Amino acid sequence: MGTASYRIARGTAQGGHAGQLRAPMHRAQREDALFVGSLEKGLRVLNAFLTGEPDLGLSDICRLASLDKSAAQRFAHTLMVLGYLEKDPRTRRYRPSTRMLDWSVAYMRSDPLIQVAGPHLVELHEQTRQAVNLSRLVDTDVSYVVRIPARRARLLSPIVGERVPAFCTASGRAILSGRPDDEVAAILDRSDMLPFTERTICDRGEILARIAAARRVGYTIAEEECLPGELTIAAPILNAEGRSIGGVNMSMTTRDWTPKRMRIELAPALLRTVTILSSLQGYRPSSAVPA
């Protein structure tokens, strides 16, 4: 099961609406003369499909997008006519169309970090033979923007664009280690810190201790916190101001690796890679790093 599937199952099992993505507009948005409410509602319909379900009926869209039936029907129909959704004539359920990938391609081409990181991520993969990922922070989550899977993967890897919580992942804690304390606190305040596995660390003090340790040594390790049997090691990429703008992580299984072996065999190569990528972003060791 992929990480996104764990997230959906967790929310459903605990009685929440796994994916009620956005409430109606806040007052500040309503008072913004440039804010287009109808566009926001249309995007809420598209966001409903981010829950991981293969298709959605009209009632599902109403619930997930917080819209009444009439509005949900109009927006879904419009998106279908424009080619962004497809509708099964038999089940009358909607699913995203291939055209949705156009937005993904546009992002990939426009992200300067992806453009410069590619060759160095490939080199790290060739050196270690492990899965290598590049991630970005999105609100309280990390999103994988580059994925290079292991050649003999034992775990089902997340796909590009998949998001996992920052608080319990090596990538997330690595990126948070390059952010100021007040920003880290604000992100943790907004995070839904519920366990994925028996080993997920949800204690705020312990999470902050792991982030602080990552600042000292330059990397962090997570042990089976999102998926049973998975180990991950990650380090942040810093910009000219010493602020993290992304993270590089490698994942492997407890069957083949231990944290001690990861520190000895993988950490040096990972740190060399993020040092190169950080230098390409203008970072120098004398730059101010968040305390």
Is 104 inside a domain boundary?
A: no
Report pLDDT for 274.
97
For residue 155, the enclosing domain spans 111-280
The enclosing domain of 34 has a CATH number of 1.10.10.10
Which of these three, 52, 76, 99, is where a domain ends? 99
Verify that 144 and 48 share a domain, yes or no.
Answer: no
pLDDT tens for 213-256 read 999 999 999 999 998 999 999 999 999 999 999 999 999 999 98
In a domain, 161, yes or no: yes
Same domain, 199 and 153: yes
Reported as a pLDDT band with limits 50, 70 and 90, residue 285 is: confident
Dist CA 156 CA 3 (whole Å): 9
Residue 86 β-bridge partners = 95
Within a domain: residue 139?
yes
Same domain (yes/no): 115, 236: yes
Residue 16 placed within a domain = yes
Are both 72 and 115 inside the same structural domain? Answer: no
Residue range 4-30: average pLDDT?
44
Contacts of 21-25 with C-beta under 8 Å, sequence gap 24+, read 21/47, 21/48, 21/50, 21/51, 21/64, 21/65, 22/47, 22/65, 22/66, 23/66, 24/66
Q: Looking at the structure, tell me whether residues 153 and 253 fall in a common domain.
A: yes
The band of 11, judged by pLDDT with boundaries at 50, 70 and 90, is very low
pLDDT at 74 over 50: yes
* Mean pLDDT for the stretch of residues 190-202: 93
Among candidate residues 99, 123, 148, the one where a domain is terminated: 99
133, 238: one domain: yes
Write out the two tokens for 61: 């869209």
111 touches 103 (CB < 8 A): no
Structural domain contains residue 25? yes
pLDDT of residue 159: 77
Distances (CA, A) of 235 to 72, 103, 154, 175, 273: 42, 28, 23, 7, 9
- Which of 99, 134, 157 marks a domain boundary? 99
Q: In this structure, are 141 and 182 located in the same domain?
A: yes
Please list the residues that pair with 235 across neighbouring strands.
Answer: 248
Q: Residue 132 pairs with which residues in a beta bridge? A: 148, 250
Same domain, 118 and 83: no
Model pTM score: 0.80
The tens digit of pLDDT for each residue in 136-183 reads 999 999 999 999 887 765 555 667 878 899 999 999 999 999 999 999
Phi, psi of 160 (to 5 degrees): -60, 135
The per-residue pLDDT for 22 is 43
Supply the pLDDT for residue 204. Answer: 95
Give how many domains the chain has, as a whole number: 2
User: Tell me, what CATH number does 125's domain have?
Assistant: 3.30.450.40
What pLDDT does residue 21 have? Answer: 46
Q: Are 92 and 78 in contact (CB under 8 A)?
A: no
The verdict on 179 and 246 lying in the same domain is yes
Share of residues in the chain with pLDDT > 70 (%): 85
